[in-house]
Each structure stands twice: as structure tokens, then as C-alpha cells.
Amino acid sequence: MATDRSLTPVARVLQLCLHLLVAGLLTLAVARAALAGAAPVAVTAAALLTGAVYAAGPLLGAVRRSRTGAALWLAALCGSWLVLLALTPDGVWLAFPLYFLQLHLLGRRTALVAVALTTVAAVAGFARHHHGFSVAAAIGPTLGAAVATATVLGYQALYRESEERRRLIDELSAARADLAAAHHTAGVLAERERLAREIHDTLAQSLSSIQLLLRAAGRALPERAEAAAGYVEQARQAAQDNLAEARRFVRALTPPGLDGSSLPTALERLCATTSEHAGVPVRFHLSGAPAALPVPHETALLRIAQSALANTVRHAQASHAEVTLSYMGSEVALDVFDDGSGFDPAAVPAPGTGDGGFGLPAMRARARALGGTFTVESAPGQGTALAVLLPEPPEER
């Protein structure tokens, strides 16, 4: 049988057993011929020829590489076996390992035909030496052929099933690796989006406020030095608050506005601070009985209010703004309105285009992440109204 480095350990053991079986049967034939004095020299020569042809198989590359080479080698092996069978009836036992070789090296149909012909030759050779045919003489080779065929075909079926299982395991391992990579990528993107929203709603807005305060201080100098100092102090306070915000969102902590206070208090403080720093009157309204919300809900509503008021100050040129927080049983709503210049929501630039446009998508993303809705109504010259509606989880109320 041809050797193959890719054979499994079990296949190597079976191959070794087949080699030993052939060697043992050839030795048995020679020994019995010598004891019986039945042409021992001719039997020994035929056995050596058969053994040499068999041993050449594993050494020939053509036998390993092509089915044609294997068929030619089997033809030579069967020819030498027929010579041995013609000289001694003990050659019939070599039919059994020949069955395995034919079934292993040839295609299924060709192998079955070869096994049948080998069986016929074995029965005929045995009958010739015993000068007559008998059913008992035919049973041995026929049963051997049946057992060999069932064994090889069963092994091949098990091997195919094992290979299919190995392929499925490889696919499952690859799918798990892809899923782990996808989860990692999703986590990276989610963290990047979180940082982008926090930077937009805190650092960017606060830096814009500091810039406006410093411009106001510059315009007040030198005639109104006291007013300029006030603007600078406000800018310093805004920078200090900004630093605290930066440290907290890097650690994914609660915003300072919610630290130790309720959401209504934080929103009321935000409205007062915006009115003081930006000069735009902002009124806060509370509707319904305040209820404790999960931290992510309170954080999202506060950030949305901060971003909305920052847009009002920077872009709306409004004379006043209003923020309304409404507790409605199983839902909580936040409305931000200003009477500014308004805009066309459909014409807002996409994020990353260099023209801004990140605020509204960030607010919408915050609301959707918590299963809520975000709507914006505006038109040029008609002000802007933002509405956020979040479901309040019953288990956390």
C-alpha cells in the first residue's frame, strides 16, 4: 500500500497491520510448501516476486500520486499472486489483503469489479488444487470479500463524516473568530461614538463659550476693565468646569451637573448658567412629579439639553429659549424651544463633512440608544423646537 505523510495515526496502524499480514501469509505459503515438498523452490520464487512487487508500491511515487499508477501496480501484484496461487493452494489467503488494496486504491465501481474477479480467481485456484469445486471452498473467499468490502466502505463513510465534522468545526472556529473581531470592532466604534458625543456636548460647547467670553472681554478693554475682568473670570470658571467634564467622561462617570443633584435641578442650573454666560434668557419648566431615572437616561437628557442650548447660543440669534422636562408615568420628555432664526433640518450637513452637523445626529443617537425618539421642528425665521421622549424602565423607577 502506498504511504502518505498525511495519514492519520489510525490509518498508519492499519497500513502496518496490512504489511505484516502480507508478509505473514507469504511466509506461511513458503513454509507449508517446504514442509509438504510441493515445489518449494518455485513457491519460494513466486512468493519473493509477490513480496517484491508489494514492497515496491510504497516506494513508487506514481502509486501515491495517480489512480492509474495505482491500478498498474495492482495489476502487477495480482499477476504475481496468480502465479503463486497456481503453484500452491495457500496462495488463496493472499486474496484477503488484495481486497483491501483494491478497495482502497481504485474507484468504487472498479474496485468492486476487481474484488469480484479476485474472488473468482481465488475460488477457481483453490478448486483446481483440490480437483473439484465445492460450496465450502467458495464460502471462504466470498465471505472474505464481503467482510473486506463492508469494512472499507464503512471506514470510508466514517472518514467522510469525520472530515465533514472537522470542516464544520473549522468553520465554527472561524465564525467565532469573526464574531469576536466584529464584537471588538463594534465596541471600538461604540466607544469612539461615545467620546465623540461627549466631546461635542462638553468640550466643544464649553470651548465655544470660552471663546465668546474672551471676545467680549477683548471688546470691553480698555474702557470697561471691570466688565472685562468679569468675562475673564467666567471664562476661567468655564475652563475649570470643562476640565472636570473631560476627566469624568474619560472615566465614563456621571456628569458633574448630576453629581449629587436631581435631573430637574441640573437642568435648572444649566438654564441659569446659559442665561448668565450667553445673555440669552432661558427659562426652565417642570411638568409632572419627578421620578428617579436610570443614570444613562438622566445623562442623555442633560447632554441633549446642553447641546441644544449651545446650538441656540451659537446659531439661533434667539431672544429667549425654554426647556421643559415632563414626567408622564412610563415616559419622560424633554422639550427645548427657541424663537431664533431657525433652519431647514433637511439641509443640515452630514457629520464629518467639515461644516459641523454633528450635534443633531449625536442627540438622535443618544435617544435611540435608550429606546426613545428624537424629533426636531424648525424652519427659517420660525425658531426651533426639539423633543426627546424616553421610555422609563419600570424596574428602575
pLDDT digits (tens, 9 = 90+) for 130-162: 788 778 778 888 888 888 888 888 888 888 888
Q: Which residue has the higher pLDDT, 68 or 197?
A: 68
pLDDT of 18 strictly over 80: yes
Q: How far is CA 28 from CA 37, 48, 52, 91, 137, in A?
A: 14, 12, 16, 9, 19
Q: For residue 227, what are the contacts with CB-CB under 8 A and spacing of at least 6?
A: 217, 220
Give the model's pLDDT for residue 267.
92
pLDDT of 199 strictly over 70: no
pLDDT of 119 strictly over 50: yes
The three cell numbers locating residue 184: 471588538
- Using CB atoms within 10 Å of the CB of residue 181, give its burial: 0 to 12 exposed, 13 to 18 middle, 19+ buried: exposed
pLDDT of 126 strictly over 90: no
Calculate the average pLDDT of the chain.
83
pLDDT of 397 strictly over 50: no
Its pTM stands at 0.46
pLDDT of 396 strictly over 50: no
CA dihedral sign, ordered 302, 308, 311, 316: negative
pLDDT of 121 strictly over 70: yes
3-state secondary structure of 32: helix
Amino acid (one-letter) located at 366: R
Radius of gyration of the chain (CA): 45
Give the model's pLDDT for residue 5.
46
d(CA 145, CA 149): 6
Kindly report, residue by residue over 333-377, the tens digit of the pLDDT. 999 999 999 888 887 766 655 555 567 888 888 899 889 999 999
d(CA 264, CA 271): 11
pLDDT of 388 strictly over 90: yes
For 212-224, letters b (16+ CB in 10 Å) and e give: bbeebbeebeeee
